[in-house]
């Protein structure tokens, strides 16, 4: 049979219902809402809409732009990790939130052992799917909110009091979550105890459950220090002080800033006057950091000193060396 005829026959094989449901899932990564589904089915039945035109409507929608941005972010992070790269100087599209740089930064640095994701319950599904696809040996999600994710062990709990023994994890991930700890989490439908020292308590707990050679990846909003009620924003100095006071060593850090051209690395970023939500839909800048829990060991062991020297050699090293060298 002619291969084009075979393709046409395949395209008309599913019922209209199957086609519409499948297309929404495949293109927009969600179920069709009732109104759009009924409209599409009625028009397909009366012949005023073709399957190709419905496909075009979905891929040219504003909603698909976001799907594509997140897909690109996940694909980039996954590819970099597979190649053993630690990419820096990422770039992201304009007028977007910080996930477009946080996701690839974190996924590229994801370890393969036992990993704890804190704050997974309201994470972008594309990011959670990216974590699952990367398949660390064990993936555990912890959140004040409850949620089920196939393939991930989920635990409802407070990061300030982790229900895990000491040295239990190879890596902990805090993606846009640390700044919410101890703040008003009503918008997430959860009631955590509000407490000004929440972030310090969280970091102490995370340090306790990390193995000595473990890694903590953190992304946090950056700008003029301010308490927004539902989260806290700090400048680089403020965040770094918090990390080092909790006993962490800053292995790697990068600042990203949102400008009219999009997201880009900003090593000389000035936090003064940068308020959340004023440059785009969310943060105006973000700090991406990898921390290690054992500051002392880093300074007294030969391996630690070598790693420090390499880190100080600058960003190019991170691009050239494989992940675990």
Ligand X SMILES: C[S@@+](CC[C@H](N)C(=O)[O-])C[C@H]1O[C@@H](n2cnc3c(N)ncnc32)[C@H](O)[C@@H]1O
Q: Assess 109 for contact with ligand X (CB under 6 A).
A: no
Considering the complex, state which of residue 101 and residue 121 has its C-beta at the smaller distance from ligand X: 121
Q: Assess 158 for contact with ligand X (CB under 6 A).
A: yes
Considering the complex, state which of residue 27 and residue 183 has its C-beta at the smaller distance from ligand X: 183
The CB-of-181 to ligand X minimum distance in angstroms stands at: 4
* The one segment of 21-29, 66-74, 156-164, 269-277 that binds ligand X by CB under 6 A: 156-164
Q: Assess 115 for contact with ligand X (CB under 6 A).
A: no
Q: Assess 77 for contact with ligand X (CB under 6 A).
A: no
Q: Assess 233 for contact with ligand X (CB under 6 A).
A: no
Q: Assess 130 for contact with ligand X (CB under 6 A).
A: no
* The one segment of 50-58, 66-74, 182-190, 235-243 that binds ligand X by CB under 6 A: 182-190
Compute how many other C-beta atoms are within 10 angstroms of the C-beta atom of residue 201. Answer: 17
Angle in degrees, CA 136, 108, 164, rounded to 5: 40
Using the rule CB under 6 A, which residue among 140, 152, 159, 246 binds ligand X? 159
Q: Assess 101 for contact with ligand X (CB under 6 A).
A: no
**Token representation of residue 119:** 């704050």
Using the rule CB under 6 A, which residue among 36, 132, 190, 265 binds ligand X? 190
The CB-of-218 to ligand X minimum distance in angstroms stands at: 11
b/e 61-72 (16+ beta carbons within 10 angstroms → b): eeebebbebbeb
* The one segment of 18-26, 36-44, 69-77, 172-180 that binds ligand X by CB under 6 A: 172-180
Angle in degrees, CA 228, 129, 234, rounded to 5: 20
Using the rule CB under 6 A, which residue among 181, 206, 258, 283 binds ligand X? 181
> Which residues here bind ligand X, judged by CB under 6 A?
118-119, 121-124, 127, 142-145, 158-160, 175-177, 180-181, 185, 188, 190, 192
């Amino acid at each position: 049979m002619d291969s084009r005829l075979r393709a046409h026959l395949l395209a008309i094989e599913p019922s209209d219902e199957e086609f519409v449901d499948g297309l929404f899932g495949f293109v927009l990564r969600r179920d069709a809402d009732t109104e759009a589904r009924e409209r599409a089915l009625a028009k397909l039945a009366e012949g005023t809409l073709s399957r190709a035109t419905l496909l075009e409507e979905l891929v040219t929608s504003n909603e698909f732009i976001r799907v594509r941005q997140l897909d690109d972010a996940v694909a980039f992070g996954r590819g970099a990790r597979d190649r053993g790269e630690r990419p820096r100087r990422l770039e992201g599209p304009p007028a977007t939130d910080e996930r477009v740089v946080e996701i690839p930064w974190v996924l590229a640095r994801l370890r393969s052992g036992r990993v704890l994701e804190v704050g997974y319950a309201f994470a972008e599904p594309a990011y959670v799917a990216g974590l699952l696809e990367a398949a660390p040996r064990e993936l555990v999600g912890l959140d004040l909110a409850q949620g089920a994710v196939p393939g991930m062990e989920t635990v409802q709990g407070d990061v300030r009091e982790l229900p895990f023994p000491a040295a239990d994890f190879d890596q902990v991930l805090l993606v846009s979550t640390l700044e919410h700890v101890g703040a008003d989490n009503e918008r997430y439908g959860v009631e955590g105890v509000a407490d000004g020292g929440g972030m310090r308590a969280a970091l102490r707990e995370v340090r306790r459950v990390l193995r000595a050679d473990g890694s903590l990846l953190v992304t946090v909003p950056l700008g003029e220090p301010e308490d927004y009620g539902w989260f806290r924003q700090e400048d680089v100095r403020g965040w770094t002080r918090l990390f080092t006071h909790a006993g962490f060593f800053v292995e790697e850090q990068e600042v990203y800033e949102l400008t009219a051209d999009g997201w880009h690395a900003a090593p000389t970023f000035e936090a003064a006057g940068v308020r959340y939500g004023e440059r785009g839909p969310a943060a105006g800048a973000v700090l991406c950091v990898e921390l290690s829990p054992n500051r002392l060991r880093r300074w007294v062991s030969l391996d630690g000193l070598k790693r420090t020297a390499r880190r100080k050699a600058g960003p190019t090293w991170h691009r050239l060396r494989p992940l675990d060298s």
